[in-house]
Homo-oligomer: A and B are copies of this chain.
Amino acid sequence: MKRTLGTCYYPEHWPREIWEEDAARMAALGLTWVRIGEFAWSRIEPEGGRFDWGWLDDAIDVLGEAGLKVVLGTPTATPPRWVCDKHPDMFAVDADGRRRGFGSRRHYCFSHQGYLNECRRIVTEVAKRYGRNPHVAAWQTDNEYGCHDTILSYSSAARQAFRGWLRARYPGHGNDGDIKALNAAWGNVFWSMDYDDFDQIELPNLTVTEPNPAHVQAFRRFSSDQVVAFNRAQVDIIRQYSDAPISHNYMGRIVDFDHFAVGEDLEIATWDSYPLGFLEDRVGATPLDQRHYARQGDPDFQAFHHDLYRAVGKGRWWVMEQQPGPVNWAPYNPAPLPGIVRLWTWEAFAHGAEAVCYFRWRQAPFAQEQLHAGLLRPDSVAAPGFFEAEQVAEELADAPDVAPAQAPVALIFDYDAAWSWEVQPQGQGLDYFGLVFDLYRAFRRAGLSIDILPPTQRQFDGYRIVAAPGMMVMPDDLKTALMASDTEVLIGPRSACRDADFNIPVPLPPAWPDLDVTVSRLETLRPDMPIAVAGGGSVRNWFEHLEGGAEAVFETESKMPVVMRSGTTTYCGGWGDDAFFDRLVKDLCNRAGVETLDLPRGVRVRDTATERFWFNHNPHDVEIEGETLASAGVRRDPI
């Protein structure tokens, strides 16, 4: 498959007179895809039951006739005012009990049945009308599930649905569930929290002190399931009317629902990549790195998500929204370094993207995102990003097709674990994503390509190293599958430390057959008290006291084991700093026979089946194997 480019376009925002010219310029730029429609409900159905299809028919035709392929979005992220008036309780409620009302977007509760039915209705109408339209080549459901913290809702609808979900999880006679089973599973005896009936169970907000972690984790799982069901309702309808692939555009570092589970129902995973906005508001880099990469974005954050969504999309994935200039929503919004939009685009292709679409075609002069750059300025003059997209389009002409290759290293990413860590961080600011990402970055610094795997993976053939740090619930068959493989397996800290109901298992974790290691005690550490590891690096944040007869691979300077191993299974009892994780990665690679590289700061490598890519994320040139790689430069070596 040829690599392609695209953009996001809102014909409803612009005068009819300029659509043809816009379409022609898109085509001339070398774009293939144009995503439309995802916020247009109020223009498609201005009042309940009255549809205005004319403009959309027209827009699709204009774009299609220009040679573009349309990705059509379902407009359910922005229900119009009249829908909300019809369902005044359809809004999500925040943890403080406040209704999250109309006036921006994503103003709905996933559990509200009335709204879900409205969605089924509008999706049916749209799918019916455009399901066989020759220009509609793909679909998108809704927009950025989870953006603006919209997964968890403390509404009446959610409470009602949660009780039903719990009944199904702890089933009993009739429809009533087995409340004693729930009490036992959650340990409700602890503070006399026993229930007599599922209808007594509230959502876990506004308690005096923290609620039962089992209660919260159940609510997290329920909330994720509601997203899956909401999305599936749309997919089921679209499939009745269209053969085009269906996608959803996920958002960076949002772990509030299980992307793998949603992805199961879709053909393509896409994500929205805003490297500068993310560096400012969610990467969690050090202040020095935030300064160094302020105009380039973090050198690993996009790569991680590329690898993640390759897994979520079962191989098929896009960047649906690529930042082309300054955005409007981060704490600070600098302009990208010249050349870096091109680098971002090529990096996505290096990680296997089929398409990269720039958001948005033209900067809107009105409403919330008026300071969000597009490929064009509000006055239709080409913005700097336009020319970098143009360069990529030209380069793509001679470039090889999408050519995925299995990576030597696999990292399991488990949304359930992300919730578990949030429910019980045990130390300020400790989170699962941060732990996994720290290890991912160490593999990247060693020049390695990485595959991310879902927690349901049981087949590890071809991998030399598989890591599953921090995965708090590890089913027995996963343990078995990992042990059965001949790969080096890295687990810990915190791996396999809870059962399915959020209880500490006995025997104590990790209870890993053939690995004589027990976590006898754990502690979390102030940032100013790292524990030095003999030979270099240190453990910080999280430290487990390990017992057992396995070999101590790394020890603290005071001779406490940090990493222990039996055979090909390695348990790491701490959250390391960069130096420590670099040592651990080198150690595993040595054992696994995986070659590593010594890369300058800010330089990263990624291999496809046909090429090795080098990316210079620095604002200055670097020397690579005797050659200069310019700032924001991309080098492609055939393999």
Give A residues with C-beta under 8 Å from B.
10, 12-13, 39-43, 46-47, 75, 78-82, 85, 92, 96-107, 147-148, 150, 186-196, 200, 202, 204, 206-215, 280, 287, 290-291, 294, 325-326, 328, 331-335, 363-371, 373, 377-379, 381, 383-384, 424, 426-428, 501-508, 520-526, 528-529, 545
Would you call B523 and A326 a contact (CB within 8 A)? yes
Q: How far is the CA of A335 from the CA of B369 in the complex (A)?
A: 47
Contact partners of A333 in chain B: CB under 8 A = 426-427, 523-524
Q: What distance in Å separates the Cβ of A619 from its nearest Cβ neighbour in chain B?
A: 11
Would you call B150 and A193 a contact (CB within 8 A)? no
Would you call B194 and A81 a contact (CB within 8 A)? yes
Contact partners of A92 in chain B: CB under 8 A = 208
Q: How far is the CA of A325 from the CA of B523 in the complex (A)?
A: 9
Would you call A214 and B383 a contact (CB within 8 A)? no
7 A-B pairs with C-beta separation under 8 A: A13-B190, A39-B190, A103-B211, A104-B211, A209-B368, A335-B521, A377-B508
Q: With A101-B202, A333-B523, A366-B186 in contact, do A82 and B13 touch (Cβ < 8 Å)?
A: no
Would you call A100 and B191 a contact (CB within 8 A)? no
Contact partners of A211 in chain B: CB under 8 A = 103-104, 368
Q: What distance in Å separates the Cβ of A582 from its nearest Cβ neighbour in chain B?
A: 25
Contact partners of A192 in chain B: CB under 8 A = 39-43, 75, 78-80
Q: How far is the CA of A508 from the CA of B502 in the complex (A)?
A: 57
Q: How far is the CA of A520 from the CA of B521 in the complex (A)?
A: 57
Q: What distance in Å separates the Cβ of A214 from its nearest Cβ neighbour in chain B?
A: 7
Q: How far is the CA of A253 from the CA of B272 in the complex (A)?
A: 40
- Copies of this chain held together in the complex: 3
Q: What distance in Å separates the Cβ of A336 from its nearest Cβ neighbour in chain B?
A: 9
Contact partners of A99 in chain B: CB under 8 A = 206
Contact partners of A426 in chain B: CB under 8 A = 328, 333, 371
Contact partners of A12 in chain B: CB under 8 A = 189
Would you call B503 and A191 a contact (CB within 8 A)? no
Would you call A427 and B331 a contact (CB within 8 A)? yes
Q: How far is the CA of A192 from the CA of B10 in the complex (A)?
A: 12
Contact partners of A213 in chain B: CB under 8 A = 367-368, 370
Q: How far is the CA of A526 from the CA of B526 in the complex (A)?
A: 27
Q: In the complex, what residue of chain B is closest to A381 when comparing beta carbons?
A: B520
Contact among B190, B365, B427 with A332 in the assembled complex (CB-CB below 8 Å):
B427
Those 10 A-B pairs whose CB atoms lie nearest each other, nearest first: A187-B366, A190-B367, A42-B192, A365-B504, A103-B207, A78-B192, A187-B367, A148-B209, A104-B207, A335-B523
Would you call B194 and A80 a contact (CB within 8 A)? yes
Contact partners of A368 in chain B: CB under 8 A = 190-191, 209-213
Q: How far is the CA of A526 from the CA of B99 in the complex (A)?
A: 33
Contact partners of A428 in chain B: CB under 8 A = 331-332
Q: What distance in Å separates the Cβ of A425 from its nearest Cβ neighbour in chain B?
A: 10
Would you call A191 and B523 a contact (CB within 8 A)? no
Contact partners of A505 in chain B: CB under 8 A = 365
Contact partners of A208 in chain B: CB under 8 A = 92, 100-101, 103-107, 148, 150
Contact partners of A331 in chain B: CB under 8 A = 427-428
